[in-house]
Chain A
Amino acid sequence: MTLSHYLAVSTALFLIGLFGALTRRNILGILMGIELMFNAANINLAAFNRFLHPSGFVGSAVAVFIIAVAAAEIVVGLALVVAIYRAQGTLYTEDIHLLKG
């Protein structure tokens, strides 16, 4: 297992997340995609930590912070989703276009 293996996995995860976030019609799906991207970043941090500075733990610590931040983010996101659903009656992004010029 070399660094590139980890990076390959995280790249794949990131792209899957990006693809999901760009193509899902449902906001919940977009949030899930964003979660995947977060975790791709986490894998990068942990992997760099492990391979470049095995004695330190800053990378893992930041990853843990990101996990906490991601949890907070998803709380806010889901609250927004609930609010949007109450206001708009739908969660499909093509129906939510208040900003349309």
Chain B
Amino acid sequence: MTLFENVHWIALLPLIASFVILFLGRDDSDKSLLPYVGITAMGVCLIHSLLILKGFLFGGFKPYYRTLPWFSFGDFEMSLGVLIDGTASFMLVVVTLVSFLVQVYSLAYMHGDPRFKRYYAYLSFFSASMLGLVITSNLFVFFACWELVGVSSYLLIGFWFEKDGPAYASKKAFITTKLGDLGFYLGLMVLFACAGTLDLNMLAARAQMGPEYLPQQTAALAGILFLVGAAGKSAQVPLFIWLPDAMEGPTPVSALIHAATMVAAGVYLVARTYFLYAASPLAMDAVAWTGLATAVLAAGMAVVAYDIKRVLAFSTVSQLGYMMLALGAGGYTAGLFHLTTHAFFKALLFLAAGSVIHAVHTNDMRQMGALSKQMPSTFITMTIAALAISGFPFFAGWYSKEAILHAVWLRSPLMWTIGVLTAALTSFYMFRLIFLTFLGSSRDAHCCEHAHESPAVMTGPLWLLAVLSVSSGWLLEHNGLFASVVHFGAEAAAHHSEGGLHAAPAWLPWAALAAFVSGLAAAWRLYAREDLSLAAGIKERLTPLFAMLENRYGFDRFFLMLVSASDRLASALAWFDDQVLDALFIDGWAVITRAVSELQGLFDDLFVDGAVDGVGIVTRNAGWGLSRLVRGQVQEYMLYAALAVSLFATFLMTR
């Protein structure tokens, strides 16, 4: 099985590539060949991942687990290893494929950027950290890669750091996700304290042995703490505030973050540690409700956004909520299925949006309109992606959303209702985006008249992703292919082999379809025409609602308040320190001390000073003489010290 024995190269190759690009070659122009190093490395990894996935799908591969001892500390041994199961094999393909396409696409998109070379180094590094996170068998290494993902996202979101927006956004993303990472870290410590290992395989085995080996409270605590971490990375309520701002980075980076690397990490964390959630219904419920709240809140915000990338960002948040909801409702396969299909159409949406922005040089949909004639390829591919994400029958999103809603129905019809509502909103805001951008009238002639189709190196990835957005759902759902590889435990596999849709009423799929149609129809009625006054009228009448949505339900303000509240607390404490502690204990003490010392001073002046003055004169003269030796260079002192120590050491050793 050389495929498996070399699997660590999938993470190492892009890492090496990124350092090669960063350190080799001074040519920072766009004629440099260095980007091809990154593209080639990612291409090799893509082929490798595809071969592994093929083995899992058709070759009957079993999960592969191998570890090497890393370091030991007393009795405790930390191991370094890989754990490749069906879930990981799918993640590998998703990450490498999206990352490969993004790198190809960026050749044109970032053409002429002054830091072209560095951009490619960062991209490779980003993918390498994510791939490391996917293959590792050890939660400790997982955490390290998780942080590396955070760092590289910081670098890429703030890639144009000379502008204020990206610099602020990268800081916000970093600090917000760090807040979640704190939860992840605490979770790791809880697990380690209970189980004494962070190896995923051993932990899972422990969880399977029963509650005496992994108490339910521990599982719940660790699971919820991991959920906090996942909420930071995967932009769940209430830590989603960084994702819309992360749009300040280059658009291909947004595609990478949203489709494959960063935000998928949180969902993947929950999937990897699913044994915790299986052991604790409380943690499971927390995941489900977090996901549900995120899905519906983010969909609401997407409806009112005018920045084309922000709409997509909120849509990502909402879809991630869907995945979490599925995982929390027990639909392990459904959640990861949606993760896979979502990666394809979300990458496509972002890359197509990038193509539009590249052509019209604005993000504001109010200035676009009627671009379908100028940019046919972008228009068609983006419409395909919109159909896929909103669940048009037989497109990729239809299958995965269907699977999620089915799993959620079995859990709770209330959750299902909110889920379907979110699906309707999804379809509405996606087609609002399509209609505003590509149909109607061209609202800003200045922007739109020079718009033209992007070069083939950009549209190529678009078409490839469009094909995947259409076909991947059917291909993977067909014969239960996806479920045969990605499932949790034997139970879930059995459940799916029985033919999926049992125990749920037959009208279930029709409700989702109705949600899709109603969303599309509403968007058509409001936005697909030259005259947008109807939409404006509705906005007029519902001003408070719109204001709330545009303010993102005040979450941003809440966190800012948190910061300024702690600021105020700090200054209050500073005041207390200054005015009370200092005044009472320091200044009061000083008064007493001063009185005593004045008394002493009298004595001092009369008797001691004479003696002191004598000594002082001697010392001053001697000191003046010696001070000629001291030249104020700190390193000279260090040299004397080093010489003295080595002389002393020589003396000791030769004695």
Contacts and interface: CB of A to CB of B under 8 A. Distances in A.
B635 A101 contact: no
Contacts of B632: 96-101
A88 interface: no
Contact of A100 (B626, B631, B639): B631
B489 interface: no
A49 to B, nearest CB: 10
Interface in B334-383: none
A57 B74 contact: yes
Given A57-B73, A57-B74, A60-B73, A21 B635 contact: yes
A22 interface: yes
A101 B628 contact: yes
A30 interface: yes
Contact of B626 (A96, A98, A101): A101
Contacts of A23: 635
Given A18-B642, A21-B635, A101 B629 contact: yes
Interface string A26-59: 0000100000000000000000000000001100
B592 interface: no
Contacts of A94: 633
Interface in A62-101: 93-94, 96-101
Given A21-B638, A22-B639, A22-B642, A93 B633 contact: yes
B414 interface: no
Contacts of A96: 632, 634
A38 to B, nearest CB: 15
A94 to B, nearest CB: 7
Interface string B611-646: 000000000000110111111111100110010000
A22 B624 CA distance: 26
Nearest to B642: A18
Interface residues of B, number: 17
Contacts of B627: 101
Nearest to B639: A22
Contacts of A101: 623-624, 626-632
B273 to A, nearest CB: 27
Contacts of A56: 74
Interface in B530-567: none
Contacts of B634: 30, 93, 96
A22 B635 contact: yes
A98 B632 CA distance: 6
B73 A97 contact: no
A21 to B, nearest CB: 6
Interface in B73-92: 73-74
A27 B253 CA distance: 37
B146 to A, nearest CB: 21
Contacts of B639: 22
Contacts of B626: 101
Nearest to A46: B71
Given A60-B73, A101-B626, A101-B628, A22 B633 contact: no
B633 A97 contact: yes
Contacts of A18: 642
Contacts of A22: 635, 638-639, 642
Contacts of A97: 631-633
Contacts of A57: 73-74
A22 B627 CA distance: 21
B638 to A, nearest CB: 6
A72 to B, nearest CB: 20
Contacts of A99: 630, 632
Nearest to A30: B635
Nearest to B636: A22
B642 A100 contact: no
A101 B625 CA distance: 9
B635 A100 contact: no
A15 B638 CA distance: 13
Nearest to B76: A57
Contacts of A30: 634-635
A54 B333 CA distance: 47
Contacts of A93: 633-635
A33 B450 CA distance: 57
Nearest to A25: B635
A101 B638 CA distance: 17
Nearest to A54: B72
Nearest to A97: B632
A101 B74 CA distance: 52
A30 to B, nearest CB: 7
26 contacts: A18-B642, A21-B635, A21-B638, A22-B635, A22-B638, A22-B639, A22-B642, A30-B634, A30-B635, A57-B73, A57-B74, A60-B73, A93-B633, A93-B634, A93-B635, A94-B633, A96-B632, A96-B634, A97-B631, A97-B632, A99-B632, A100-B632, A101-B624, A101-B626, A101-B629, A101-B631
Given A23-B635, A101-B631, 17 more contacts: A18-B642, A21-B635, A22-B635, A22-B638, A22-B642, A57-B73, A93-B634, A93-B635, A96-B634, A97-B631, A97-B632, A97-B633, A100-B630, A100-B631, A101-B623, A101-B629, A101-B632
Interface of A: 18, 21-23, 30, 56-57, 60, 93-94, 96-101
Per CB-CB distance, the 10 closest pairs between chain A and chain B, nearest first, are A101-B627, A97-B632, A100-B632, A57-B74, A101-B630, A99-B632, A22-B635, A22-B639, A57-B73, A100-B631
